[in-house]
Structure 1
Amino acid sequence: MPADLAVLGLGRLGLPAARAAAAAGIRTIGYDPDEHAVRELGAGRPPAGGGLSAAEVRKMASAGFRATSDPSVLGRVRTALICAPTPQGEGRAPDLGAVRAAALTLGERLRPRTTVVVESAVHPGGTEEYVAPLLEKASGLRAGHDFHLACAPSRLDPGNRSHGYTNTPRVIGGLTPACTEAAAAFYGRLVEKVVRARGLREAETAAVLETNFRHVNIALVNEMAVLCHDLGVDLWDVIRCAETKPFGFHAFRPGPGVGGHGVPVDPACLDRAGRTPGYPLRLVEVAQEANARMPRYVAQRAATLLNEHGKSARGARVLLLGVTYKPDLADRTGSPAPEIALRLMEMGAQIGYHDPHVPQWRVAGRPVPRADSLHEAAAAADLTLLLQHHRVYDLQSLSAKAQLLLDTRGASPTGAAHRL
């Protein structure tokens, strides 16, 4: 039986979209050229980085979802979502190689009146200037005339227990008003609220603003963390007080660095042909610099703390707790942990780690010993360094066991540890 929807790319964007569609009763197929990932899904096992559990994958299958690496199925759907990954490439611009491959594969089989939506992170203008010509050349059809084309940037927040796929409003912008309405009608079956942008560029740029807002504000509190430490001020109490203001303030918290898939974007850096008008987003550039300094700062704080307690970083046993980019997830994309570990290694420290979600870990090609017994390892280490606060970490108990505990997340009780 032909499917109503094809999801191209079965990673962290595509699988949640396919899951939401299957749950809504939409006949859905997932296409991915990675045959291993397709086999894993067929066996009921989620591929790494997909953000779903095995139980969720099996539930999708029972709802009719199937994965394939056969592109011929793409010619029999009414709607197609391009969910290919766009990792950071040269010059901090997104690498659109996978998007190009998906667009060409779909274009060769595209039928008139199909609705195509780009969920992949593309720069402002990317859907119209990059994706549309690929689809048109491969299909011989005209975007906005023979088929609908829209952009609906992902707003996934992995691990968020309050806001998931369904109850997060979805921003949609189309090449034409009819394209917007076609995409809105589709997403109206998946989410509680659809927000119509004026066009493709507005939807794409909204995603840029959202990502940059996060990075700029994290950079501010990261710099405040350094300042407050130098002044002898408790930053965490400062934030606690400031967030009681009911207007004009939104609380962000510092950390050892900024990870995740959403990287700060300066649109002036993205168009290599030089067509992007206007000035660069200087704040974004400064924020990136500030956030990039944090792993070095944390390593230096660790060395200073050891020195203050009569120990040298050289030869010190340092236990890193939590090496993922986000609590209670296995995803290590952009995590500051490798850089912190490498800097401490270069100082001569002996590094070990504990993370319930990461059974094996390598830094600069070298395996890092994993602690089997958390409390025993903390007691044996000269310094325990909390990089990610997973729920399993009882910091009150750990602070009693550890010789020294440096908490970069402000998660420990006041006075129980040294905090960033």
Structure 2
Amino acid sequence: MQELFEKIANRTARVGVIGQGYVGLPLALLFAEAGFRVTGFDLDPAKVQAIARGESYIKHIGPERVSGAVASGRYEATTDFSRLRACDAVLICVPTPLGTHREPDNSYIHSTAREIAKRLRYGQLVVLESTTYPGTTDTEVKGILEESGLQCSKEFLLAFSPEREDPGRKDFSTKSIPKVVGGVDPTSTEAAVALYGAAMDRVVPVSSTRVAESAKLLENVFRSVNIALVNELKVIFDRMGIDIWEVIEAARTKPFGFMPFYPGPGLGGHCIPLDPFYLSWKAAEHGLWARFIEMAGEINTRMPAYVVAKVTQGLNERGQALKGARVLVLGLSYKANIDDDRESPSYEILELLQEAGAQIAYCDPFFPRTPRTRKHDLELESVPVTPEAFARHDALVISTAHDQFKDAALYRDVPLVVDTRNTLAALFHGGAKGPRVVKA
């Protein structure tokens, strides 16, 4: 394997990144910017063509980064997986969704591993970045790759390094977020540490792939459980007439022993709504019940219904039924100021409102039309971000706190706002006249 280490050290190694989405694209760009030759692989020809033109299809990744990397000659994308054989290191960044019964779906990992196995050659390093349950890398992926006839550790290397992307974040980037790495053997760990260390500020080696896989799950279980806690307290405190947001602000003044988490309309994104259930499923395989994970999931998944109940309550207090009411949902993205709608609770809120008989509409400057997803196909066009457009509705639901929605003038003629993000508190403080607001 000495040749691989030398190529990494002098940056002549070719890095292949499978999947050019929210994880794979910034990773590919980072290695290209670090001086490596990078080939991005994706099944979507539209993404490959956009990269060839030097365009970015992800808003928080500037087109100048893509065009610069392409112009340098160090980055290209392709749908031709036969070119994997030319890569010295292959990084797997593919989706790991849940099935209809919240069971892990590793089919993308398996199919990708089979594509690699067809072209696997002596001396290659393969790293899985997709979030999964402990044991996936050293059993499932290793087994598929060894169908090539090559033996892991002796003829190729294998590691796991969890992605830690947080789209739109300003204070940390792919380069500055510490990179956890665990190999199936010490040499695999050493090679993966060398590779990531050549492009990233800090690499954190761990003893095995299973520790690395578990670390990512712990990170997201931690967030899921704490968000569920504040969501449950939100419901309880609301019944008591207490504002959960004010409670959190008071509690966070303690300089130790407390970390603020905030309630919302439900979980969204590619990690927190999905990843914890990979661990609870694996725990059940070992005869154990991950009660915190399951309970948190139950609380968080019922938040969209809670929001709709608040819309109904707010309309009732005005003498109006939800059926036939014109309801506008603000935001499709799962969090503010990004164009990422994966697992967004806004879709379920819209569908629940529609099932109850409301006339639904949405507004999101990042999505002119509702995209077709694996679960949803609403076929709606975005309402303009104007006071006139907002005023044509009987109720607004703030589901995502985009900066574009933080203008008091937008709400001057709106009769009712159901605010899931505490957005209007800052706009109408100090007694400023505003719409009737119901917090959800």
Select the residue among 130, 134, 156 that pairs with 2:140.
130
Give the counterpart letter for 2:386 in structure 1.
Answer: L
Select the residue among 168, 186, 191 that pairs with 1:159.
168
Matched, 1:235 2:233: no
Equivalence for 1:385: 397
Give the CA deviation at 1:266: 3.9
Q: Structure 2 CA distance, aligned partners of 1:204 and 1:366?
A: 35
Q: Given that residues 91 and 269 in structure 1 are in contact (C-alpha distance below 8 angstroms), is that contact kept between their aligned partners in structure 2?
A: no
Give the counterpart letter for 1:6 in structure 2.
Answer: G
Matched, 1:206 2:226: no
Select the residue among 52, 59, 73 that pairs with 2:61.
52
Equivalence for 1:107: 117
Q: Structure 2 CA distance, aligned partners of 1:268 and 1:165?
A: 25
Select the residue among 65, 74, 79 that pairs with 1:69.
79
Q: Given that residues 16 and 51 in structure 1 are in contact (C-alpha distance below 8 angstroms), is that contact kept between their aligned partners in structure 2?
A: no
List per-residue Cα deviations over 1:314-363 (Å, max 9, x = no partner). Answer: 22211111121111112211111121112222222211211100101279
Task: Select between 377-386 and 14-23 the one with higher mean Cα deviation.
Answer: 377-386
Q: CA RMSD in A?
A: 2.2
What are the within-5 Å matches in structure 2 for residues 257-336 of structure 1?
A: 257-262=266-271, 263-267=274-278, 269-271=280-282, 276-336=285-345
Q: Given that residues 321 and 354 in structure 1 are in contact (C-alpha distance below 8 angstroms), is that contact kept between their aligned partners in structure 2?
A: yes
Instruction: Structure 1: state its 5+ residue gaps.
Output: none
Give the CA deviation at 1:91: 3.3
Q: Given that residues 13 and 89 in structure 2 are in contact (C-alpha distance below 8 angstroms), is that contact kept between their aligned partners in structure 1?
A: no
Equivalence for 1:121: 131
- CA pair 195-365 structure 1, distance change in 2 beyond 3 A: closer
Equivalence for 1:396: 408
Select the residue among 422, 433, 436 that pairs with 1:410.
422
Q: Structure 1 CA distance, aligned partners of 2:154 and 2:221?
A: 34
Q: Structure 2 CA distance, aligned partners of 1:315 and 1:109?
A: 58
Give the counterpart letter for 2:439 in structure 1.
Answer: R
Give the CA deviation at 1:411: 1.9
Give the counterpart letter for 1:125 in structure 2.
Answer: G
Task: Select between 243-252 and 38-47 the one with higher mean Cα deviation.
Answer: 38-47
Give the CA deviation at 1:147: 1.5
Give the CA deviation at 1:213: 0.9
Give the counterpart letter for 2:176 in structure 1.
Answer: N
Q: Structure 1 CA distance, aligned partners of 2:335 and 2:142?
A: 35
3-state secondary structure, aligned to 1:237: helix
Give the counterpart letter for 1:387 in structure 2.
Answer: S
Please give the TM-score of this superposition, normalised by the length of structure 1.
Answer: 0.93
Q: Given that residues 132 and 278 in structure 2 are in contact (C-alpha distance below 8 angstroms), is that contact kept between their aligned partners in structure 1?
A: no
- CA pair 365-102 structure 1, distance change in 2 beyond 3 A: closer
Q: Structure 1 CA distance, aligned partners of 2:397 and 2:170?
A: 26
Q: Given that residues 92 and 265 in structure 1 are in contact (C-alpha distance below 8 angstroms), is that contact kept between their aligned partners in structure 2?
A: no
Give the CA deviation at 1:60: 2.1
Give the CA deviation at 1:280: 2.0
Give the counterpart letter for 2:317 in structure 1.
Answer: E
- CA pair 395-51 structure 1, distance change in 2 beyond 3 A: closer
3-state secondary structure, aligned to 1:120: coil
Select the residue among 220, 227, 232 that pairs with 1:223.
232
Please give the TM-score of this superposition, normalised by the length of structure 2.
Answer: 0.89
Q: Structure 1 CA distance, aligned partners of 2:323 and 2:191?
A: 62
Instruction: Structure 2: state its 5+ residue gaps.
Output: 1-11
Q: Structure 1 CA distance, aligned partners of 2:182 and 2:287?
A: 22
Q: Structure 2 CA distance, aligned partners of 1:235 and 1:98?
A: 40
What are the within-5 Å matches in structure 2 for residues 21-40 of structure 1?
A: 21-40=31-50
Give the counterpart letter for 1:19 in structure 2.
Answer: L
List per-residue Cα deviations over 1:29-84 (Å, max 9, x = no partner). Answer: 1122333332232233345x696343332122123200112223221222111112
Equivalence for 2:178: 169
3-state secondary structure, aligned to 2:412: helix
Select the residue among 109, 129, 152 that pairs with 1:143.
152
Equivalence for 2:7: none
3-state secondary structure, aligned to 2:320: coil
